[in-house]
Amino acid sequence: MAFAELLDRVGSLGRFQALQMMALVVPITWLTAQNMLENFSGAVPGHRCWVPLLDNSTAQAGVTGAPRPEALLAVVIPPGPDRQPHQCRRFRQPQWQLLDPNATAANWSEAATEPCVDGWVYDRSTFASTIVAEWDLVCDFRDLRPMAQSIYLAGILVGAAVCGHTSDRFGRRLVLTWSYLQMAVSGSAAAFAPSFPLYCLFRFLAAFSVAGVMMNTGTLLMEWTSTKARPLLMTLNSLGFSIGQVLTGAVAYGVRHWSLLQLAVSVPFFCCFAYSWWLPESARWLLTTGRLDRGLRELQRVAAINGKTAAGGALTMEVLLSATREELSGGPAPARLGTLLHTPGLRLRTCISMLCWFAFGFTFYGLALDLQALGSNVFLLQVLIGVVDVPAKAGVLLLLSRLGRRPSQAASLVLPGLCVLANTLVPHEMGAVRSVLAVVGLGSLGAAFTCISIYGGELFPTVLRMTAVGLGQMAARGGAILGPLVRLLGTHGSSLPLLVYGTVPVLSGLTALLLPETRGLPLPDTVQDLQGRVGAKATASTAGSAGTSVLKCTRL
């Protein structure tokens, strides 16, 4: 409370907060582009085996009266499962008899085939170059593409574990500035990676800094803003991710070469690194860690930007000492992690909350990082996801207040699951229908993220709230890592990955119905408050049942 009063003196929602919001949200939009990048840089173009008869001009010149390329394609490439030219096999010897109009499948079905020993030919009509075509991540090597995405997501998980402790020790702004620089350098280096392993390494380092940017952006916004204005600024911060989805599709549409696209979404972080030195450190963190001199300077600086120079000049070291004393003695030490797992009521809330976080990360990243499986026009699909995400995140706030937390959370997970399951029944030829279902499903997952962010905080007491939210974030990152790997099941059935992506959120949404409703209830501060609330509810329920029994007996 004491620091809140200091913040009110220097301005808790003024010119400084507006400038800070702009400075912090702009990198968030480009950060989203980094997350969604491999939808385009890692797109899988159409491909077939390279064969001398078709792709070697010298060999073609030696054939007198050579047939048309379409006819030659049938001679050297067997048909695949979809009756199109096989993507991973070729005939060992040209099957000239297939040029006979009376030839049937029996003429070539027993002919010996072989893998693409000389490489592949790629369709470059949509993408000039991708990492798939650069390093031949197709056929026997197709599993490397989802592995690269999981390595990137693992980098975010590791970064979240490291950057949190580092920020508490060295400061929010310093870690944020370093993360901007690491993002710029690692992302730009990935564009010039000479091999696929080095590309994955640089992407891992870029993902590591993604965690630092996301965590410290939110923390700085919260710690420099009043309690009343905090929801507004955090909503604007969340909408930065939605704008980033649209930005990603627009930039990728204009830049079709993977290395140039990688540079386009990485170079802006050099600018973010340059102006981030203007951002002040969190005064709350400086005061609680004993850095009173610097904390005083930062408060006075913010007061000057907000036009409250006189209020800033009135701040003295004695005032700061008093504020620090009150902040440090403001309550008991937080409970331990084991309390979440050993207290019966909290154990259920923790497990279901983590399951909801996991379902969001698992399904969203599993689908959003493979837009080619959901529709033909990946550029338009990426833009539509961002456009739908904006009203979804704004509208869910109304649903939470009208329907309640529990049904909103359940619906926001069940709906996208049903959309994904419905996509398994839609033929690939109906690309428009598949795209609509995908956009609705991913937009609903954006609503699920907003629901669990608010609902998850209300389910736990203050002394354990951040610990519980941290566990949920870890579950979401774990789901994000596993999500792309599920696409490997596509080798056993084309619809199998979508069945898994749809089933997980549906089951998680139904499980959320076991949680208690928190709409209109005050936030619990301690475990005892929570247990008292549960006990009071049980007593009321028992009393109600007893009253009903008495009434029945009276009537009898």
User: What's the pLDDT tens digit per position in 332-343?
Assistant: 444 566 767 777
**Measured distance CA(176)–CA(174) in Å, rounded:** 5
Q: How far is CA 73 from CA 51, 53, 118, 138, in A?
A: 9, 9, 16, 20
What pLDDT does 332 receive?
45
User: The tokens of 171 are what?
Assistant: 């400061």
- Asked whether residue 266 carries a pLDDT value surpassing 90, the answer given is yes
Rounded to 5°, the CA angle 426-364-367 comes to 40
**pLDDT tens digits, residue range 462-473?**
556 656 766 777
Distance from the first to the final alpha carbon of the chain = 59
Instruction: Please compute, for residue 534, the number of CA atoms within 13 A of its CA located in the half-sphere on the CB side.
Output: 16
Cβ atoms of 1 and 330 closer than 8 Å:
yes
Sketch out the chain's domains with CATH numbers. Answer: 14-42+129-277 (1.20.1250.20), 47-122 (no CATH), 337-528 (1.20.1250.20)
Q: Could you read off the pLDDT of 386-427 as tens digits, one per residue?
A: 887 788 777 777 777 778 888 888 988 998 888 888 877 877
Q: Taking residues 288-302, what's their average pLDDT? A: 81
Instruction: Please say if the pLDDT value at position 94 is more than 80.
Output: no
Higher pLDDT: 212 or 545? It is 212
Helix (H) or strand (E) holding 264: helix 258-264
- pLDDT tens per residue, range 161-170: 777 677 777 8
Q: CA 244, CA 394: separation in Å to the nearest integer?
A: 16
CB distance 409 to 518 below 8 Å: no
CB atoms within 10 A of CB 15: 12
- Taking only the tens place, the pLDDT of each residue in 221-251 is 877 777 667 667 767 777 888 888 889 889 9
SS3 label, residue 127: coil
Beta bridge pairs of residue 540: none
Kindly state the tokens that stand for 505.
């959120």
447: confidence class by pLDDT, cuts 50, 70, 90: confident
pLDDT at res. 537: 58
Farthest CA pair distance, the chain = 106
Residue 455 in this model has a pLDDT that exceeds 50: yes
pLDDT at residue 330 greater than cutoff 60: no
**What is the pTM assigned to this prediction?**
0.75
Alpha carbon distance 542, 303 (integer Å): 56
pLDDT at position 188 is 94
Residue with tokens 């408050």: 529
